[in-house]
Amino acid sequence: MKLRSTQILSVNASGLARASEILSGGGLVAFPTETVYGLGADARSDRAVAKIYEAKGRPSFNPLIAHVASLDAAMELVEFDETAKRLAEAFWPGALTLVLPLKSGSGVSKLVTAGLPTLAVRVPDHPLARTLLETFGGPVAAPSANLSGKISPTTAEHVLSGLDGKIDAVCDGGPCIVGLESTIVSTGDAPTLLRPGGVDAEAIEACIGQTLIRAVEGDVPQSPGQLLSHYAPSGAVRLNVTEVLPNEVLLGFGEVDAELNLSKSGDLIEAAANLFWMLHQLDEGGAENIAVSPIPTHGLGAAINDRLKRAAAPRG
Ligand code: TXA
Ligand code: MG
């Protein structure tokens, strides 16, 4: 998808109001945080979040971080245990992301969590980011604002070099101070370092008086996305189905006769937006055998097919 052009917004009241308006309208705005520039979308809108994946050209659905203006705003989305609360009070606003159990009724799109029961949340420490989040008044899903597989951007120019014409706007707030992504930690029974980043693991351990489990292999940090056993429905899944068997429920795509259709019109953004909640719906309905229509492999189709392949893979 190529938009006409990407607006460059300045750091003033009218620029921020425009950015907030674009987010409310389901558009994409890149904005600076103290770590790196994020590519923001309304975290409550399936369609808006699907556009993030499309713009970045991500070949898979990795869960995203929800950015909020305050601890109070985060508490509306996730459950804080004592450890999480202590960490938030010590390091927020700042370069620490907490992965915590999602509250029911949070309204966060399943595309943000990639269907997981947890959500990554962060209060960024950047005046522009915080004003934008306050003005917008809701959670903003934002991965780093680069094309998939490229280096994270620390200036508005970096953002434009990859995403010009693919996103609605970028707020130019100058270079990011930390320049390194946030540290990601999950709490619960065994607090775990999921990604090293802007806040030292040692400082986190000192704060909670506990050693973090390192989700790191040798010297190579694992992407948290890879460590997770991603959501899969409990029924068997068969892909690329053009002839549905009598015992199967069809998850359709395009002009097929199916109660659940990812996109009747064959729109991949719509299909991505529907994917996780439809898989959940099939699960809740007790579907034992799920057939899925063929889905094109271009654009967002790559990520959709990747997700479906995982859902269809044999499980132990
Ligand atoms: O500094 C940062 O964290 C930047 C700025 C924009 O805030 N954002 C960022 O987002 O680096 P991204 O999408 O590039 O990385 C998010 C990481 C991914 O590795 C993802 O797997 C992990 O967070 N993550 C998100 N939700 C998770 C969850 N529920 N459980 C485990 N890991 C999760
Ligand atoms: Mg990234």
DSSP string, 53-105: HHHHT-SS----EEE-SSHHHHHTTB---HHHHHHHHHH-SSSEEEEEEBPTT
- Ligand 1: atom nearest CA of 35 is 1
pLDDT for position 299:
86
The torsion angle over the Cα atoms of residues 202, 203, 205 and 208, rounded to 10 degrees, is 180
Structure tokens, 71: 């601890």
Ligand 1 atom 24: the closest Cα is on which residue?
A: 63
**64: CA distance to ligand 2 center in Å?**
9
**204: CA distance to ligand 2 center in Å?**
22
Q: In whole angstroms, how large is the CA radius of gyration of the chain?
A: 20
- Ligand 1: atom nearest CA of 64 is 25
Ligand 1 atom 30: the closest Cα is on which residue?
A: 99
Distance set, CA 63 to CA 189, 248, 281 (Å): 22, 29, 19
pLDDT for position 119:
97
**36: CA distance to ligand 1 center in Å?**
12
Q: Which residues of 207-233 are buried (b: 16+ CB within 10 A; e: fewer)?
A: bbeeebeebbeeeebeebbeebebbbb
Any atom of ligand 1 within 6 Å of the Cβ of 144: yes
pLDDT for position 216:
59
pLDDT for position 228:
40
Question: Which stretches of the chain drop beneath a pLDDT of 70?
Answer: 1-4, 216-231, 315-316
**256: CA distance to ligand 2 center in Å?**
36
Structure tokens, 223: 């992407």
Integer Cα distance of 203 and 173 in angstroms: 28
Any atom of ligand 1 within 6 Å of the Cβ of 184: yes
pLDDT for position 233:
82
In the chain, what are the helix, strand and coil shares in percent, each to the nearest 5? 30, 20, 50
**120: CA distance to ligand 1 center in Å?**
7
pLDDT for position 215:
75
